[in-house]
Amino acid sequence: MERFKKVILWCAVCLFTTSLFGCGKKVDENKPISEVKTEAAGMNVEQLKKTALAYKETIMAKQEDIEKITAKLKDIPVAEAIGAEAKKLKSEIDTINESLSALKERFEIYYNQLKEKGGDISGLQI
């Protein structure tokens, strides 16, 4: 019975927190560009800014990931620069760069639509 009360309490806390802060806007680097354009065209200024900001935050996080991996790569001795670890790190960087490119392309759509609708674009520059 005590465990049941704790589970109920925990669920209530989660619901309350979600209602206060929301779940956050997810970004999708695989969403077709045509779908992104259609979605952006139907959004209001507030929705566009929120979505563009979510993309910006994701882009910035991925750029930080690249910086961390690059730092690891620089720490690899020259003699091991063609080894498996270096290749793995370079592959990770390539994968993140592909993801960044897709995210930036989608971000630009929301950003430009926001600008077109006269929304505040301050703080959204990458």
Which tens digit of pLDDT belongs to each residue from 29-67? 999 999 999 999 999 999 999 999 999 999 999 999 999
How far lies 37's CA from each of 14, 49, 52, in Å?
34, 15, 13
pLDDT average, residue stretch 17-34: 68
Q: Which of 5-14, 33-42, 87-96 has the lowest mean pLDDT?
A: 5-14
- Any residues with CB less than 8 A from the CB of 53 and at least 6 apart, and which? 25, 123, 124
pTM above 0.75, yes or no: no
Taking 60 as the threshold, does the pLDDT of residue 18 lie above it? no
Give the whole-angstrom CA distance, residue 90 versus residue 66: 10
